[in-house]
Amino acid sequence: MNEEIITSGRMNYKIDPQLHIWGWEIPLYLFLGGLAAGILFFAAFYYLKNRDQEMPSAIKTAPLITPLLLIIGLLALFIDLNHKLYFWRLYTTIKLESPMSWGAWTLMVITPVSIIWSATYVRELYPSWDWKFKWLYDLEGFFIKNRKVLAWIMIFFSVILGIYTGILLSAFNARPLWNTSILGPLFLASGLSAGAAYIMMTSVNQLERKLFSQIDLVLIGIELFLIIHMFMGFLASTEVQIEAARLFLGGPYTLPFWTIAVFTGMIVPGILEFLEIRGRRIPAYIPGLLIIIGNISLRFIIVYAGQASRYLY
Amino acid sequence: MRYAMAIDTRKCVGCADCVVACQTENNVPIGYCRDWIVENTTGTYPQLQLEIRSERCNHCANSPCVRCCPTGASHYEDGGIVLVEAGDCIGCGACIASCPYDARYPHPDGYVDKCTFCIHRVRDGQKPACVAVCPTHCLYFGDLDDPESEVSVILKKRKYKTLIPEAGTDPQLYFLT
Ligand code: SF4
Ligand code: SF4
């Protein structure tokens, strides 16, 4: 027997009996960041490949939602802060060892870029749109001329943002479940897959839709591969990480993780997309929504379960 | 200078005087604590072994909490004491998640709070409140770089361990076994 009890009584709020410092805000922030990163990545990628005629949704329509996603994400982060009046302190320092710091800066760069990108397409999509002031038209002209630069910035920062959503967690070695470098690529892949799903749902172009269901299928494959690797890594590691893996292998998170995040959110849409590619007609929003649900639940489950995993004394 | 604390688990009786002394000295809000007592029982009845430990922030020399703080609010003071500057802290909770010892808590005023090794007393040449009050004198505090200090002397004489050294934090609380 090995029993540890705190006999002096310790009931620190949000710490005892089990750490719960992060509620819904952080997983929502991670999900929205990943989704926006996915959409912006594809927009920039296909723009740079000069595919704006074949990819109207990926390049023009889908990115319109990203400023909103990013702003809600930042708002969720803000709600999570306990010392809100000091929020600006985040932007008076850059600390490279702190993912929280460079992630906040990444958002500060990519949010305005997403707004500018969307703004350069507004008049093309809504011909009656009027910018009211001449200087706004001038500005629009300037950015339209420099779309290429914007696209490069977007590619670079969307990949950073996508990886960041995972690294924010994996930097914490105190929580063995998060402490795996697989979380970076896993969350990047899942963000890209959510982005592709959103583009697929908003697209009116048959070819584009087909392409993005293929992309999604590949990304789902990658995610499943990474998840298997993550568990192989845990089970071959130290006792604390084996314990962490048990949360999903018989422990309290087994059911939600495997049924919602993996089965409903990856395997089922993967099969549907496979059938679609084989020529069956499946409404795009069914796999699309399932992927988004899987994405949200993956972040929630990992953030919550990670706080339940700890070092054994 | 490297401040550290040694805790004699053979002398400690778990009276929790250190906990109360800290709460009073540092105005810890009601319902919270910066230090606590752990009772660890191992073995099978009737061969049981009991270890009692007075625990607090380990003032780690390689602290994940300082590393992950986005604003620099969590920082090292002289002597390696890990402190939170309330006016720089945004309350993001990253440091709380990063501490393998769960030594930090969110203060009701918004910032994050934890043991300070009573730096205000130490700078005045006094001992931390918990050390000063312990009725069994099982807590030792001092500078590890000074071979004559209480803590250096006792660590030379006795066997000790640290908590979760495998987390790579280089903790500075030494538990005499
Ligand atoms: S015990 Fe926790 S709070 Fe204290 S220095 Fe180490 S990691 Fe930071
Ligand atoms: S809660 Fe405060 S001290 Fe902790 S990491 Fe965030 S800003 Fe730093």
Closest residue to A174, CB basis, from B44, B98, B109: B98
Q: Which atom of ligand 1 is nearest to the CA of B171?
A: 6
Give DSSP secondary structure letters for B43-86. EETTEEEEEEEEE-----TT-HHHHH-SSS-EEE-GGG-EEE-G
What is the fold, at CATH topology level, of the domain defined by A25-308?
Answer: Formate dehydrogenase/DMSO reductase fold (1.20.1630)
Q: Which amino acid is at A260?
A: I
Chain centre distance of CA A87 = 23
- Of B100, B41, B95, the residue nearest B65 (C-alpha): B95
C-alpha torsion A283→A289→A292→A294, nearest 10: -100
Residue showing tokens 């845990």 = A234
Q: What is the mean pLDDT of chain A?
A: 94
Q: Model confidence at A7, in pLDDT bands (50, 70, 90)?
A: confident
- The pLDDT averaged over each successive group of 10 residues in chain B (177 residues) is 97 96 97 95 93 97 96 96 96 96 96 97 96 97 96 97 95 97
Nearest-angstrom CA–CA distance, B169 and A174:
10
Three-state SS for B106? strand
Contacts of A15 in chain B (CB under 8 A): 96, 102, 104-105
Closest residue to B90, CB basis, from A1, A10, A86: A86
Nearest-neighbour CA in chain B from A18: distance (Å): 10
Q: Model confidence at A159, in pLDDT bands (50, 70, 90)?
A: very high
Query: Would the pLDDT of A237 be above 80?
Result: yes
Would you call A207 exposed, middle or buried from its count of C-beta atoms within 10 A (0-12, 13-18, 19+)? exposed
Q: What is the mean pLDDT of residues A183-211?
A: 95
Query: Would the pLDDT of A236 be above 90?
Result: yes
Task: Give the residue extent of every domain in chain A.
Answer: 25-308
Nearest-angstrom CA–CA distance, A84 and A133:
36
Contacts of B88 in chain A (CB under 8 A): 86, 89
Residue showing tokens 């430990």 = B53
Task: Give the pLDDT of residue A9.
Answer: 81
Q: What is the mean pLDDT of residues A79-107?
A: 93
Contacts of A13 in chain B (CB under 8 A): 31-32, 105-106, 108
Tell me if chain A has a CB within 8 Å of the CB of B38: yes
Residue showing tokens 């050294």 = B165
Contacts of A171 in chain B (CB under 8 A): 68, 98
Closest residue to A95, CB basis, from B16, B70, B166: B70
Enumerate residues 118 to 137 of chain B having a beta carbon within 8 A of any beta carbon in chain A.
none
Nearest CA in chain B to A80: B92
Closest residue to B99, CB basis, from A13, A104, A174: A174
In contact, B51 and A14? CB cutoff 8 Å: no
CATH of domain B3-176: 3.30.70.20
Would you call A188 exposed, middle or buried from its count of C-beta atoms within 10 A (0-12, 13-18, 19+)? buried
> What is this model's ipTM?
0.93
Nearest-neighbour CA in chain A from B148: distance (Å): 32
Q: What is the pLDDT of residues A160-177, one digit of tens each?
A: 999 999 999 999 999 999
Q: Model confidence at A268, in pLDDT bands (50, 70, 90)?
A: very high
C-alpha torsion B109→B113→B119→B121, nearest 10: 60
CA A151 / ligand 1 centre spacing (Å): 42
Residue nearest to atom 8 of ligand 2 (CA): B69
Q: Model confidence at A313, in pLDDT bands (50, 70, 90)?
A: low
CA B41 / ligand 1 centre spacing (Å): 25
For residue B154, give both structure tokens: 């006792």
For residue A289, give both structure tokens: 């929504």
Lining residues, ligand 2, CB within 6 Å: B 69-71, 73-74, 84, 89-95, 112
Nearest-angstrom CA–CA distance, B105 and A12:
6
Q: Which atom of ligand 2 is nearest to the CA of A82?
A: 1
Task: Give the pLDDT of residue A4.
Answer: 86
Nearest-angstrom CA–CA distance, B21 and B115:
12
Residue nearest to atom 6 of ligand 1 (CA): B60
Residue B48's φ and ψ, nearest 5 degrees, are -105, 145
Residue nearest to atom 2 of ligand 1 (CA): B99
Nearest CA in chain B to A172: B98
Task: Give the pLDDT of residue A19.
Answer: 93
- Ligand lying closest to the C-alpha of residue B101: 1
